[in-house]
Amino acid sequence: MNVREIIRYYPASGTEAIFVSQDTDQADITAVAAAWHIWDLSEKGCSFETEEAQRFTVGQSGVLILRRDCYSDEIEDAQIVRIWNTGMAVTFEPSARIREYLGKSKHHYPAEDLEVTFIDGDQFGQRTAKSSFVWDISKKSCSFESEQVEGFKTGQTGKLKIKHGLHTDVITNVTIERIRDGGMIVSFDPTNKITKYIGHQRNTAGMQV
C-alpha cells in the first residue's frame, strides 16, 4: 500500500509518536520518533522516521502513542503497513480523537499543494532538490520527497524556495538535518514569513494558528 493512500494531510510538526508492539511472544518493543521527524498524521494513519524501524515487521500490530506539550493520546490496534530503512507507516481505524488531539496544539501549517526546492548554498554550480511531495512544513522546518537528493548531505546549508500558485517565498540559512532515500528534512531559524506565505492559500480549512 502506498503511504499516500493512507494520509489525509494533517500537520504533524511538534508531535511525538511512539509505537508499542503488542506481540505476545516477546517483550513489548517501542519505536520513537523525535518531535519533528513525523512525516505526516491523519485520522487513520501516521508515518514517521525512527532508527528502530528495522526491529519491526510489516503487519505487526500495537498501540500508537501521540504526545504534544502536555497532551497525550493512545490509538489501539495500529498496524504497520510499510517499513523503510529509517521509518515506518502505520494505520488504524479512523479516529476523530486525532483531530481533537491536534486541535489542542499550536502552529499548524497545511502542506498540500506546496512545492519546495532546496538550493545549495555553494555559489558555483548550485544544485537543487525540488520536491515531488511535501510531507510537512512549520515555522522552523520542512520535510519533503524529492528524486534529486543524491549528492546532498546532512549539515549542508542553502536556501529553501516555497511556492504555492503564484506566490513564492525564499527562506535563507537553511540546514539539511536528515536525508533518506527519496527525501530530506531541512530546518531554519523560526520565521513568520512561513505564516504570511501560508496565509495566501485559497483553501485554509483545517489551518490553525
| Domain range list for the chain | 3-102, 115-198
The pLDDT, as a whole number, for residue 134 is 80
Per-residue pLDDT for 11 more than 70? no
The pLDDT, as a whole number, for residue 15 is 75
- CB 41, CB 8: distance < 8 Å: no
Which grid coordinates belong to 102? 491536534
Q: Would you tell me how many other CB atoms lie within 10 Å of the CB of residue 90? A: 25
Q: Would you tell me how many other CB atoms lie within 10 Å of the CB of residue 204? A: 12
Quote the CA–CA distance of 193 and 191 in Å, as a whole number.
Answer: 5
- CB 164, CB 70: distance < 8 Å: no
The pLDDT, as a whole number, for residue 202 is 37
- Between 146 and 10, where is the model more confident? 146
The pLDDT, as a whole number, for residue 111 is 63
The pLDDT, as a whole number, for residue 69 is 66
pLDDT tier for residue 141 given thresholds of 50, 70 and 90? confident
The pLDDT, as a whole number, for residue 29 is 73
The pLDDT, as a whole number, for residue 32 is 67
- Between 132 and 175, where is the model more confident? 175
Q: Does domain 3-102 have CATH number 3.30.1380?
A: no
Return the H-helix or E-strand segment holding 126: none
The CA angle 198-129-51, to the nearest 5 degrees, is 90
What does pTM read for this prediction?
A: 0.49
Q: Output the CATH code of domain 115-198.
A: 2.40.10
- Between 111 and 78, where is the model more confident? 78
The pLDDT, as a whole number, for residue 148 is 92
Enumerate the H helices of the chain as residue ranges.
3-6, 96-102, 193-198
> Where do the DSSP E strands lie in the chain?
16-21, 30-33, 38-41, 45-49, 61-68, 71-84, 87-91, 115-120, 128-130, 133-137, 141-145, 157-164, 167-180, 183-187
- 84-123: pLDDT as tens digits: 878 888 988 877 666 554 543 333 455 667 889 999 987 6
pLDDT tier for residue 58 given thresholds of 50, 70 and 90? very high
